[in-house]
Structure formats: structure tokens, C-alpha cells
Chains A and B, each alone.
Chain A
């Protein structure tokens, strides 16, 4: 503490100032380090070893330590450190395994002081003891860490990492004798400097190499580590077993890590692969960097805070041969660009919406969410200095519920369960599905199915398939007529509505469609209901304008539906035509002309069907789109590009699975033709089971447990091995044939095995 106050006074008397600046180096830098009073920085690399003075406006080259005509390999530095107590003392780690110390106080040009060549392979890191002047630690690729006393010619002690390469060594700020070492195999070890024979403790910190570690500058026993697995982890070393307290996921492997001075939760990281930026993280908010420095054009190899008590200056060296001083106030703040609004649908049409307070509070009519006081999750309280905190974001979460009366998603579930997608001739499938839709009071869908049947069945087939309908008696020349007569009721009502569609009132509401009666949130709610309800054009909750725009978008589809159904009734036909715009009547004619040709190929309708599918998908009824896609099969598949199909399938499967309609979703997956979809069924096909007797995992195939040599899955009712559907209670792990258990449970609630457990099956 005494030391700290001394330094702070030194700082205040000689306050650091400067700006964001850079200078070109002659060669890529590998590491940088600053001297204690933050006035000079040393840059070391394979071909560079220089000291720069940090002036107000620029870097000034002070000294080139790389002297001699033919520089030895000892100058090829992997790491450098400036002593924090002794201003003239530097240490470097060379790629050939040498540890070199440099004394700037030497009068000669060559400042090299001591040379230790005890490591066999590259030395990755050197570290001076924070308070002991003559103590130097090195960590090398050969798996050894060595402690040097600079008054002696050779190392004092050697610590063996058991042939695992050492990537970083750091003396603890808290314990005089402790240092941490990180290894390529993912471990971190803590050593006592007095006990070279064995580490104090070891733990696995990362999968893959741990490239760096850093002790928290305040003495709280926190150690931050970064590794190739792209994680930064903060460990509490004071507990018995090192505990991971924070974890930050970055986008590239973490090569260097430095706690930010005077800021308890901040640390800076950089990567040596792929990513050129330097990030400053607030470890409490691991998902978005607190600040980013994006100046470097190549990977950053060294970062250091300029002064150990000044959080505003960061120095960095890079492979792009530049040395930068970054001012914290010039940093990019990614959080400013993040979208603070979030929107999500619930399964039954509820809509959750989170937005910044300021945006929402203007809306006076907002109703608070009834489920507890979760409206103001304030992540960060405002603190005096706004630039040092994450932007004060407090969001309000509103949940809009749909009206309970419009029990809107039932149709989806029912339709999904009742639709037939395969296994019968095409026409029958269509008829069946039309009937299903009809029963669920969805006339447009129903009509669509009927039309599909008409369009894509060739007449010969059609005559053959009719017996279950009333149209079977009247087959032959007028198949269109037949089907229409069956659907007449639905179409009638539908026509009425389309005639009345210019009236924006509520009287024509479809009982089955969802309507939300929360007037305050008209907009959101409309959005919300679109997801789950399928609209007729005549539905009055849309505005006039919207209605028209939509109609024009989908005019062909609409036409093909209404108009085709009208065709056999000439008088109606005329009446309808009069109210159509010229374009529409044109398309009508183009369709109606060839319609009378008895041998119209199915492919003629493909464009119409395609638009119809897109229309349904656009409307949010992806169920219809996918069902038609499957039923039509080859007839339509080539018309729609694979990505769209895949998207539809994915959406539908997702919906089905959210409604827990597993069988239907599986059927859809099976029937789909997209390779991306069918392979969904081939993922995670393994089911791990434990033996019900000895509770050990069953190792492999067969019905006999390896360990206790008994049949594992025996039906508790009939005492036979169950091959097929096996149901068991998760409480007591007894079970048996599905039917047997079901029968058993009718008579008794206890476990059939006699274990006394009150079995529950869900």
C-alpha cells in the first residue's frame, strides 16, 4: 500500500498525457514492455529490439539494442520484460532458448548483461519478480521453468512441467513465493518458488493450450487465463479448489491478457490468429466487449497498459510492424451498436418485447406484465463516469397476451394431426385434407386442396378415385363441376366475403381466426396474430390499404382460387368479372381459356401452385405450404428452389416440435426430399441405457448386461424381454411393454415390479 501511494503521487505530479498515436517499426514486434514510470517502451521481435520514448505527440526512438554486424540469435526475442523496480534492467527470452538480461546503465554500445543458455528450446516467457530485484523466472517450450538470481551465473532452481511446454509464467501479486505457469496441455500450475520438486496445485483450465495468464493487480487472488479454445477464464485461487468465476467467449484464440489497472473487472485481450483487434472486456458482461481497438492491420502480438495505475493508455505492438498508443476514450464501443430491442413469440401467440426504457415509456397506454415485477431488469446502475461503464441500458420487458377466447393454435395442431401426407393416391389425399380443413372451418385452405386435386390429377385418374364422394355419380366430362358442387357451401360464403371486403368492419370475422382485442397495442398484436392465424383476405382487422396491397401481391393466387371455382357457373362468372381490374381479368382469361381443354397437363399449373405456396408461407401458414409440397411431390418440387423449401420445412418442423407433435414432425422429415432435412433424422441416434439391475451403463448390443449377466429390459408385468416399445418409470426404473404397463396402471397405481413405488407416466 505504501508503495502504491508513492507511485500514485509520482503519477499525479507527472501526469501522463498523450493521444492515440503510432509509429512504424522496421520489423514485426513479438512483445512489448514499459518501464515503471511509463515514459519508455521496449519493443522486441525476431528482428527488432528497440526502446522508444513516449512523448506527448509521438514515439521517439531512443536506443537500438540490436547491435553488432551479425546479430546473434540471442537477439531474436520471443518475449521481453522491463523490470518494474530497477529502471535499467531488462530481460528477454530468445527463440534459441537463451535468457538474456540487459543493463541500460552500461557505457558500451552492447548492453547485454547476463546470458543464460540453460533452456534447450524456445523460451516463451520471462518474468521479473514484482518486488525482488534479482529474481527472474523463465518458462520454456522444453517444459522447464527456471528461476534465476541475477547475481549468479546460473539458475537457482528448476521447475519441471513434465515435458509439457510452458506458455506463460507470472509471479503472483499477492504471494511473495507463488507463481503461476500455463501449459500447452491446458493445465495451469501454481508453484512455490521455494519448492522446486512439485507444484502446489494444478488444474485443467482450458481444452487445448493455455497461452497466457495474468494475476489481478489488486491482491484478490484472481487469475485470468486465456487459451486456444477462445475462452478467457477468471479463476478464484483463494478457495480450496480453483473456482471459475467468470468466463468470456471470444472469437479467436486468446494470446495475451492484461488486467486493466484501477478497474476491477476489466481486462484486455488480443489474439495471435485471425483477429487483429484488441478487446477490453468487462468480465461481468462476457457477451460483448466493453471496448475495442481496431487500429492494427495484422495480428496484435503484445499489449501492455502504459502505467500500472492509469487505465486510459494502452500500448500495443503488432506483426504489421507498428507500435500504437491507444487512448481509451478513442476506443470503439461495440455496445453502442448492439440492438437493445428484442422480440419473441410464445408458442400460443404471446409476444414478448424488450426495449430500452426511453423508447417504451413514451407509450402511456402500456400495460405492465402481470407476471411479477420483471419489467425493469436493470443490468448496471449508473456510476459517476459514464465512459467507464457500459452504457446505462435498462430494458423493459412487455408481454402481450393474445385473447383467450380466440383459441387460435388449435387448428394448427388438429390440422397437423389429421392431414394425410402420403400413403394414398394423390386425389384422395387432397380430398381428405380438404375435408379436414373444411371441418376446421378454414374454407380457403379447403378450397385450395380441392383445386390442387383438380389441377394436378389427370382426368383418367380422377374418375377412378372418386367413389367416396358424392361426385362419383356425375363423372366424365365435367370434373370441375363435380368438385365444385361438393365445395359449394364453402365457396359461397367465401365469395360473399370477398365481395364485402372493402368494408373495414368487424362483422365478417371468421370465428376460427384469432383476433386480439387489446386496443392499445394494435400494431404488435397484429404482428403477433399473423404468426399463428391464417387470414382470409376479407378479414376486417386489416386496414383497407393493407388489404389491397396484399391482394395485388397475391392476385394470381386469389384469382386461381376464386375464379377457377367460379368457372362452371357462367352467370356468376360475369358478375365477378365486372368488378375485376383489367389486369386481373386478363389473367383470368389466360387461365380460363385452356381450362376447357380436357387434357391440360399438370405442369401448366405449376406457376400458380408455386405462387400459392409462397402466398401461404408469406401469410405464416407454413403448414399449408409444406403439406402441399409433400403431397404434390415431384409435380411441384422443381419449381421451388431448394433453399426456400428447406426454409419452409425447417420452420414447420420447428413449429411442430414446439407443439410436441413429434410423430408428425418425424413424418414430415421422412417425407421431405431436401437432403438437409432428411439428415435431421440421422443425427443423435444413439440412446444410452443403464441396466435396471445394477444401474451401470449397458456397454453394447444385446439384452444381457455385461456386468450382472441378467436381462436388462424385462417387462415387469409379463417378465419377458422387451423388444420394441419399452416404457419405464423414471422414478424406480421399472417398466415393460407399453400395453402391459398401460393395462396395469388401469388397475393399480403402484409399480408392477412390486417395489412399492407410485409410478408416474407422463
Chain B
């Protein structure tokens, strides 16, 4: 794994969007806390590299940021950015958000054409299934039309339906992060080889802190299995915090010793193993293949 020393070199993920669209609440937060979230007034830089495998900074922009403000240094902001996440509120009128999106994308693209543009259609929990897909279709259509009008067809926007009430936000975040990991094909192949030579059905490599999966094997990801794995991390960390911490109090709840096996009553076994300081390998396998270890 490559080590980038200067913090400025780290790929950045920018979180942008209109105010009250849910940018801050996206970041590791349980839904009930978000009610009390204050508006973000200044750029908050969240450097998650110290606690996580991924060397990323997340810049949470205040929604009322004015691009035409002379103090707004778009060079500085967009230059080293790997991905720009634009958050729209699906329950609100998104016409204004789309205008903002267009503005943001065109400016960012001018400075740095290599940015991945990701659009989170957020707060979809309140919408019916039909409505969800209709909203996504509409936003996609309009956003792409806007870009085409500005002859920016080359810009690609990826859309995700997200909500903080389920794991869709983690999953979407995982996809965003994965695009920025250069070693992804290698890791995926390693996991493919790993599961093809063992009885394991599905393997995830998780970033423990953010519950983002760095990679998984190439079989389709099932929402339930992903959620199970997320929950397993929670269980393991909670347990370790209660019983695993030494008296010094300085120890980390997650260390080399971390290993957990959970048997579910549907003959499935969850297996968690520490890989590095920040990563955990979580495997889903059948009980019978778990019995025949080493085969």
C-alpha cells in the first residue's frame, strides 16, 4: 500500500450541495443525531486517513458557498480532488439543486477534468419505489441535458440513490471510494482467487472505521449480506471496546487479535479477520464449508 506523506497529495473527496441537503449527515452519523445538526458554515476538512486505510480527505462545503466570491479559490479546491460528491435532496424541489450542480461541475471540470463526479440523490427514504426511479431518471435526464447544452458531454455523472436510514449511503460511498483506489483490480482478483480456492461465498475487504468496503469479489453484492457485514463490524468493535481495552486506555479496540466468527441460524457463518490496522476481511460462507477447513 502506498504511503503518501504530505497531506496535500491525498486525493480529496468533496461533499457539495445546497444547504440542508444532508451533506454533513452523510458522514458517519446515526439518523437520530442528524436532527440536531447545525448548518455548516465553513469548509470542514475531515481527514480520515489517520484512522483508516483510505487516504482521503472529505471536505464538507457549506451549502451557501458562493462560487463568485473572490475568496473562493477554485484552483486550490478542485486541483487535488479525486471525487466530487454533489448531494441533492430528493424530497425537495431539485431544480435549483440541478442548477447548482451544473455550475459546480462546469467550474470543477475546467480546473480539473479528472474529477469523478458523483451525484447522491439523497433522502430517498421518503419516496416510494416508483417515485425513486422516476426521480433518478428525471434528475439524470436533466443534468445530462444541461451538460450537453454547455457542450460538456464528456463529463460523466454517476447517480446514486441514498438514504441515511439504511446502508445505501455506505454502499454508494464504497463505490465512490473504490473508483479512487488504483489497486482495486488487483485486490479484486486476489479476493476472487481466494474465494475460488476456498468454500467461501462472498468476501469483503472493509475499512473498519467508515464501514466502506474497499473491495469485494466479483459476484454481485447483495444488500442484505452487506448490511450483515456492517453490523458484524459494529458488534466486534463494540465488544472490543467493552472487554478488549487495556487499563492504559490507550489501546485501540481493533488490533491484530481481532477475529470473530458469527454463526447465523440459516446455516451461514460470518467470519471476520483483521488484515491491517484499518482493514478487516469479512467472509460469508456456509456452515458445511466452514466445517471442512483447509480443504
Contacts and interface: CB of A to CB of B under 8 A. Distances in A.
Interface in B171-225: 175, 179, 184-185, 188-189, 192-193, 195-196, 217-225
A229 B189 CA distance: 27
Given A124-B218, A162-B156, A272-B219, A97 B189 contact: yes
Nearest to B89: A699
Interface string A689-729: 00000001101100000000000000000000000000000
B189 A204 contact: no
Contacts of A95: 189, 192, 196, 217-218
A253 B220 CA distance: 10
Contacts of B136: 186, 204, 207
B88 interface: no
B132 interface: yes
Contacts of B175: 184
Contact of B185 (A121, A164, A211, A274): A121
B75 interface: no
B185 A207 contact: no
B129 interface: yes
A662 interface: no
Contacts of B160: 185
A84 B153 CA distance: 38
B189 A96 contact: yes
A96 B137 CA distance: 33
A185 B223 CA distance: 14
Taking chain A's interface residues, is the majority helix, strand, or loop, or is none over half, making it mixed?
loop
Which of under 10, 10 to 19, 20 to 34, or 35 or more describes the interface residues of B? 35 or more
B192 A76 contact: yes
B185 A209 contact: no
A273 interface: yes
Interface string A197-230: 0100001101111010000000000000000110
Which of B92, B161, B188, B221 has the most C-beta atoms of chain A within 10 angstroms of its own C-beta?
Answer: B188
B158 A141 contact: no
A730 B159 CA distance: 36
Interface string B103-135: 000000000000010000000000001001100
A163 interface: yes
Contact of B93 (A120, A124, A697): A697
B140 A204 contact: yes
B277 interface: no
A274 B284 CA distance: 13
Contacts of B225: 273
Contacts of B193: 73, 76, 96
Contacts of B129: 207, 229
Contact of A163 (B133, B179, B220): B179
A207 B220 contact: no
A273 B225 CA distance: 10
A78 interface: yes
Contacts of A167: 220
A273 B223 CA distance: 10
A208 B153 CA distance: 24
A207 to B, nearest CB: 5
A700 B20 contact: yes
Nearest to A160: B156
B192 A228 contact: no
B1 to A, nearest CB: 19
Contacts of B137: 203-204
A122 B192 contact: yes
Interface of B: 20, 92-93, 116, 129, 132-133, 136-137, 140, 153, 156, 158-161, 175, 179, 184-185, 188-189, 192-193, 195-196, 217-225
6 contacts: A122-B192, A164-B158, A207-B129, A228-B222, A273-B222, A699-B92
Interface of A: 46-47, 73, 76, 78, 95-97, 120-122, 124, 141-142, 162-164, 167, 184-186, 198, 203-204, 206-209, 211, 228-229, 253, 255, 272-274, 696-697, 699-700
